[in-house]
A and B are shown apart, each in its own frame.
Chain A
Amino acid sequence: MKVLVAIKRMVDYNVKVRVKADNSGVDLANVKMSMNPFCEIAVEEAVRLKEKGVATEIVVVSIGPSTAQEQLRTALALGADRAVLVESAEELTSLAVAKLLKAVVDKEQPQLVILGKQAIDSDNNQTGQMLAALTGYGQGTFASKVEVSGDSVAVTREIDGGAQTVSLKLPAIVTTDLRLNEPRYASLPNIMKAKKKPLEVLTPDALGVSTASTNKTVKVEAPAARSAGIKVKSVAELVEKLKNEAKVI
C-alpha cells in the first residue's frame, strides 16, 4: 500500500527562540532549521512499514517555503521514495495545511497518512485531525503503536490516564507520539542517493485550494520572566523557606 507522510520544516528543537523587538513574531533569521521531531518519527514509521513489506511506496509531502526541500531530501535519505513540495512563502494555519494535504491525498490516494502529533513551533496539534475530518477517514492520534492487518489498522494511543487502542478502517490518518519509535539517522550514501529521487513542486493555486484564514496573530510577546531564585545550603533551610517564606507546605 501507499503511505503518505507529511513533514514540516521549523526551528531546531534545541534553539532557544527570541521574540522580535516589534512583537511581530519570533526571530527566525539565521537560526538552525530542522525537520519537526514528530515528523521524523512519522517518516521512521513509514520506512519500518515498508521494511515489513506492508508499505510499497512512501510519498513524503511538505507545505512551506522552497527551503523545505532540504527537509524533504532528508526524508528521502531516510527511505521515502519520492517527495512533493507545496510551495507557500506565507505562514499557513493548520486548516489551510489540512486543505492542501487533502488535495494531495485526493491526487495520490494513499491508504495511510502519517503526520506528527504537533509541530513544536505553533504547538497547535490540529492538522492530522483536520485532515481526517476533511477526508472523512478515521484518525489514530498520539500513536505509540501502529499495526496494519488487512484492510484495517490498530493504533495504540497515548491518552491522559494511560493507553487506548482503536481499530480504524483503511484509508486512515495516524499522528505520531514520541514513543512510537526511535528515528534512524541518514547515512552518507543514502544522502547522496536521495539527491536523485524525484521531488515535485506544486502551488496552492495549482491544487485549487484557498489558504485564507479566520485567525490573525495580533502580537507575539516574551513570557513573563520569573524573578531570580536563591540557592539554599541545606534541606533544613529549604523546609524553613517553604514553610515560612513561600508558605506552600
Chain B
Amino acid sequence: MTILVIAEHDNKVLAPATLNTVAAAAKIGGDIHVLVAGLGAGAVAEAVAKVAGVSKVLLADNAAYAHQLPENVAPLIAELGAGYSHILAAATSNGKNILPRVAAQLDVDQISEIVSVESADTFKRPIYAGNAIATVQSTATIKVITVRATGFDPVAAEGGSAAVEAVSAAHDTGTSSFVGEELAKSDRPELTAAKIVVSGGRGIQNGDNFKHLYALADKLGAAVGASRAAVDAGFVPNDMQVGQTGKIVAPQLYIAVGISGAIQHLAGMKDSKVIVAINKDEEAPIFQVADYGLVADLFEAVPSLTSHL
C-alpha cells in the first residue's frame, strides 16, 4: 500500500494541516508520498521532505498549478493517484475544492472529513452537523479521503529525509483562471491550529466591541473566532466563522462569549478540550456543552477576565 498525500501550501509555506493529514496516512499504514503542486514551491517540497514518516516528495512545479485551480490540479492528482491505494488531502477549502473532482475523475466515491481511521478501508466521520458519527467502509481500489485536522495529532515537522522528485506532467484545461484574492491579515495564531480560541457572537453587539475579545485573546495568546450571527452582522470577516459551514476547531480551551450555542456553531467547536461560556442568558444552549459557565454581562466579565490573567 502506498498513500498519496496532497500538500496544503501557498507556494512558500507548508500549512500545518498537512501534518495532521500525514498522521492520518500513518494510521492507515504504508509508504507515504506527498505531492506538492504549485509554482516556485521548491521550499515547500524541502519542508515536506523533512516531515516525519514521508518517504517521497513529488514536486509538480508549473504555472498552471500556481493558484491550485482544481480544473488543472485535479487531472494531475488523478493521473498520479492511479498508482496509489489512498489519496488524502486536508479538509481545508483547497482540499474540499479539489479532491471530489479527483474522485469523480477516478470514478470512486469520496469519504469526506474523516476523524478516525478504523482500518485501511474503514473510517469514521461526523454527519448531521456532528450529531451522529458514521462508520464508512470503502471497497474502491483507490480510496479518496479528506481529513479533518482536529481528528489527528500532527506528525513532527522535522526528522524525515525524503527524496524530492520532479513531476513534469502539465495539465492546463483553460476553463478557469485566477483573477485575484483578498486575504485577511492577522498577527494572532491561525484559528484552526490555535491552542486557545476566544469567540464572539451576536451578544458582542458591534464590530468595535470585539476589541474586548482581542485584548483577552492577546493576553492568552489565543486566536479569535466568531459565530455566524457575528459574521452576518458584519462585526468580523467570514473567515473567522466557527461552525458546520465555517472552520472546525478543537483547541485546549474554547471561550464562547455572547454565543447562544446553535447546533451549527457547536458542530465547529464541541470537540474542544475545555469549553467556557460567558453569557447573560442562563438558559442559552451553550451552557449544556460548557465545562465552566459564567452567567454575566460580557462587557463586565471579559475586561475583568483579561485583568485577572
Interface residues, chain A, CB within 8 Å of chain B?
11, 13-14, 16-17, 19, 26, 93-95, 98, 117-118, 120-134, 136-142, 144, 154, 157-169, 172, 177-179, 213-223, 226-227, 229-232, 234-236, 238-239, 241-242, 246, 248-249
Contacts and interface: CB of A to CB of B under 8 A. Distances in A.
Given A95-B104, A133-B101, A222 B129 contact: no
Is the interface on chain B under 10, 10 to 19, 20 to 34, or 35 or more residues?
35 or more
Contacts of B274: 242, 246, 248
Interface in B83-115: 92-94, 96-105, 107-113
Main secondary structure of the interface of B (DSSP, over half): mixed
B299 interface: no
Interface in B114-147: 122, 126-140
A63 B69 CA distance: 29
28 contacts: A26-B132, A94-B100, A95-B109, A95-B110, A123-B112, A130-B100, A133-B100, A138-B173, A140-B176, A158-B239, A160-B94, A161-B183, A164-B67, A165-B181, A167-B176, A179-B232, A214-B138, A215-B140, A217-B135, A217-B136, A218-B122, A220-B135, A223-B130, A226-B275, A231-B295, A238-B292, A248-B252, A248-B253
Contact of A220 (B92, B103, B134, B292): B134
B177 interface: yes
A232 B308 CA distance: 15
Interface of B: 67, 69-71, 74, 92-94, 96-105, 107-113, 122, 126-140, 173-184, 192, 196, 220, 228, 231-232, 237-239, 244-245, 247, 252-253, 263-264, 270, 273-276, 282, 287, 289-296, 301, 304-305, 308-309
Main secondary structure of the interface of A (DSSP, over half): mixed
Nearest to B131: A17
Given A124-B112, A125-B112, A231-B287, A214 B140 contact: yes
